[in-house]
Amino acid sequence: MKVITVMFGVLLSLSSVFAGKEGGGGDSYSLEFTSLAHAISEQLTSRQVVINNVDPALFSSRVADLKVVTQDRTLLNNAEVDAINYPSESKIDLNRTRWALYGDDIQRKMNLVFHEVVSLMGLKDDRYQISRIYLAKVDSFPILQRTKADAYSFCIGKVAETHKNWSVESIKAACNNSNPNCVGRLVPFRSTWAPQSLVETCNNNAHPHCVQIVAKTNPNWAPQYVNAACIGNTAECVAYVAPSRPGWLPEYLISMCSK
Query: Model confidence over 10-36: pLDDT tens digits?
Result: 444 444 333 333 334 447 888 889 988
Give the integer Cα–Cα distance in Å for 30 and 68: 5
What is the span of the domain harbouring residue 229? 148-257
Shared domain for 25 and 95, answered yes or no, is yes
Shared domain for 89 and 176, answered yes or no, is no
> Which of the listed residues 121, 144, 167 is the one where a domain comes to its end?
144
pLDDT at 148: 65
Shared domain for 110 and 162, answered yes or no, is no
> Which of the listed residues 110, 144, 178 is the one where a domain comes to its end?
144
Shared domain for 117 and 179, answered yes or no, is no
CB neighbour list of residue 168: distance below 8 Å, 6 or more residues apart:
none
> Which of the listed residues 120, 144, 168 is the one where a domain comes to its end?
144
Shared domain for 131 and 187, answered yes or no, is no
Number of domains in the chain: 2
Q: How does pLDDT run across 187-229, given as a tens digit for each residue?
A: 999 999 999 999 999 998 888 888 999 999 999 999 999 999 9
Give the integer Cα–Cα distance in Å for 194 and 88: 51
Beta-carbon neighbour count of residue 46 at 10 Å? Answer: 11
pLDDT at 147: 57
Is residue 92 helix, strand or coil? Answer: strand
Mean pLDDT on 93-108 = 83
Give the integer Cα–Cα distance in Å for 11 and 6: 9
∠ CA(161), CA(185), CA(170), 5° rounding? Answer: 50
Q: How does pLDDT run across 128-183, given as a tens digit for each residue?
A: 889 888 877 775 554 444 456 778 888 999 999 999 999 999 999 999 988 898 99
Shared domain for 7 and 100, answered yes or no, is yes
